[in-house]
Structure 1
């Protein structure tokens, strides 16, 4: 049984592991912060928010100051899918943003049934009208 948690993350409720939804790779225990199973890139803020003023001439350039702003990008170590981006302060531990109740999820998924990764969309016939003038 699986519980989809985000666009790129799910929990395998049988193994109680976080998994990448893009490549099905197991990441880390679902009782832990999923970010511990991902690769982290500490992106320089000016790469995302370029300087609007010349930093050689101006102290404030409208780009976040890297002394106060860190942008952490989290990637699946197997397929390279970007799973999460986090704005934080330099040196701060990654935020623990999801702590699911595994036992409750097991009960709910058992009642609802597994959600397919790619739901089947029924074919809909569209009637087309061509107007000749």
Structure 2
């Protein structure tokens, strides 16, 4: 727990560190999830991008639909990762593993009922975040190159 105020430019510091870790130049607008970012392709085009540079989709679409998906839905597949009798019953639950098509990094795992749709859990309100919370302009490729 922090007992004092955070640095006013903390978000910018985190974004700078993340930007230094990747090999591409598109400016990171926000970290989206582990290994995933919303980046600016242009002033009005924002996409979800992986550490490796693979671009999934527009920032307001479900990136999972563009991921490689491994579905564990049998006793044999569950036993690869769970101890015996410690896994969900395959008739009632399936384990979905989402991987980046560019680097095969495991990005997310969900445990859902068979046939359950791919849930789009998070759609950030980027404009409100920048305008009202941190009061900065949204990064653009043009601003980054100057």
Aligned length: 104
2:14 aligns with none
Of residues 79, 88, 92 in structure 2, which corresponds to 1:68? 92
Q: Superposition pairs for residues 39-78 of structure 1, below 5 Å?
A: 39-43=68-72, 44-51=77-84, 61-78=85-102
User: In the alignment, is the contact (CA less than 8 A) between 2:71 and 2:96 conserved in 1?
Assistant: yes
Q: Kindly report which structure 2 residues correspond to 1:80-91, keeping only aligned pairs within 5 A, or say none.
A: 80-91=104-115
Deviations 1:54-101 (A, max 9, x none): xxxxxxx34321001111000001111111111111111122111111
Pair 1:37-2:71 in alignment: no
The answer to whether 1:103 aligns with 2:132 is no
Q: Which consecutive residues of structure 2, in runs of 5 or more, have no partner in the other structure?
A: 1-26, 140-146
CA RMSD of aligned residues (A): 2.3
Q: Is residue 12 of structure 1 aligned with residue 42 of structure 2?
A: no
Change (3 A) 1:66 1:50: same
Any stretches of 5+ residues in structure 1 without a counterpart? 52-60, 115-133
Normalising by structure 1, what TM-score?
0.67
Q: Which has the higher contact order (CA 8 A, sep 6+)?
A: 1
Change (3 A) 1:96 1:40: same
Could you say which structure has the higher helix fraction?
Answer: 2
Deviations 1:11-62 (A, max 9, x none): 0134311100x202111111111211211000233322232xxxxxxxxx34
Give the TM-score normalised by structure 2.
Answer: 0.61
Greater C-alpha radius of gyration: 1
